[in-house]
Chain A
Amino acid sequence: MKRLLFVLPLVVALIIGGFSLWGLSGGRDPSALPSMLISQPVPQLNLEAVEGVDLPGLSTDELTKMKGIKLLNIFASWCAPCRAEHPNLTRLAQEDGLTLVGVNYKDKPEDAAKWLAELGNPYEVIGSDYSGRAGIELGLSGLPETFIIDETGIIRYRLAGPLVGDGLRRFTEALNEVRK
Chain B
Amino acid sequence: MIPELGQFALSLALIAAVVQSILPMLGAARGNTLWMRSSKASAMAQFVLIAIAFAALMRSYIVSDFTVLNVVNNSHSLKPLLFKIAGTWGNHEGSLLLWVLILAAFGAMVAFFGRNIPETLKARTLSVQAWISVGFVSFLLFTSNPFTRVFPPPLNGNDLNPLLQDVGLALHPPLLYVGYVGFSIVFSFAVAALIEGRVDPAWARWVRPWTLAAWTSLSAGIGLGSWWAYYELGWGGWWFWDPVENVSFMPWLLGTALLHSAIVTEKRDTFKSWTILLAILTFSLSLLGTFIVRSGLLTSVHAFAVDPERGLYILGLLGISIGGSLALFAWRAPSMEGGGLFAPVSREAGLLINNLLLATATATVLFGTLYPLFFEAVTGDKISVGPPFFNAGFIPIVLPLLVVMGVGPFLSWKRADIAGVLSRLKFVLALSVISALVVWYLTTGGPVLAVLSMGIAIWVFAATALEWIKRVKLFQTGAMARIRRQPRASHGMTVAHIGVAIIAMGAIGASAWKEDIVTFASPGTKVEIAGFELTFESIERQQGPNYIAQVATLNVTRDGDFVTKLYPERREYPTAGSTTTESSIRQTLAGDLYTSIAEPAAEGAKGQWTLRILYEPLVNFIWIGTVFLVLGGGLSLSDRRLRIGVPRKSKSKAAPVGATPAE
Contact = CB atoms under 8 A, between A and B. Distances in A.
User: Which bracket fits the contact residues of A?
Assistant: 20 to 34
Interface string B132-174: 0000000000000000000000000000000000000000000
Interface in A44-98: 76, 78
B658 interface: no
> What 3 A-B pairs come out closest when comparing CB atoms?
A10-B326, A78-B603, A7-B330
10 contacts: A3-B330, A10-B326, A13-B323, A16-B370, A17-B318, A17-B322, A20-B297, A23-B377, A24-B315, A30-B299
B382 A6 contact: no
Interface string A89-113: 0000000000000000010000000
Interface residues of B, number: 36
A6 B377 contact: no
Interface in B271-303: 273, 277, 280-281, 284, 288, 291, 295-299, 303
Contacts of A106: 603
Nearest to B311: A24
B623 interface: no
A14 B323 contact: yes
Nearest to A34: B382
B330 A30 contact: no
Interface on chain A toward B: helix, strand, loop, or mixed SS? helix
Given A6-B333, A78-B603, 14 more contacts: A3-B334, A6-B334, A9-B277, A9-B330, A10-B327, A10-B330, A14-B323, A17-B318, A19-B374, A22-B377, A23-B295, A23-B298, A24-B311, A30-B298
Contact of B329 (A6, A22, A23, A24): A6
A2 B370 contact: no
A70 to B, nearest CB: 25
B373 A19 contact: yes
B315 A30 contact: no
Interface of B: 273, 277, 280-281, 284, 288, 291, 295-299, 303, 308, 311-312, 315, 318-319, 322-323, 326-327, 329-330, 333-334, 370, 373-374, 376-377, 381-382, 603-604
Contacts of A13: 284, 322-323, 326
A31 interface: yes
A30 B373 CA distance: 9
Contacts, number: 69
A46 B374 CA distance: 40
A20 to B, nearest CB: 6
A136 interface: no
A9 B281 contact: yes
A117 interface: no
Contacts of B296: 30
Interface string A109-147: 000000000000000000000000000000000000000
Contacts of A30: 296-299
B273 A34 contact: no
Contacts of A24: 295, 297, 308, 311-312, 315
A57 to B, nearest CB: 22
Contacts of B333: 6
A6 B370 contact: no
Nearest to B324: A10
A34 B381 contact: yes
A158 to B, nearest CB: 13
Contacts of B382: 32, 34
B374 A10 contact: no
Contact of A19 (B295, B308, B377): B377
A76 B315 CA distance: 45
B323 A17 contact: yes
Contacts of A3: 330, 334
A9 B370 CA distance: 16
Given A17-B315, A24-B311, A10 B297 contact: no
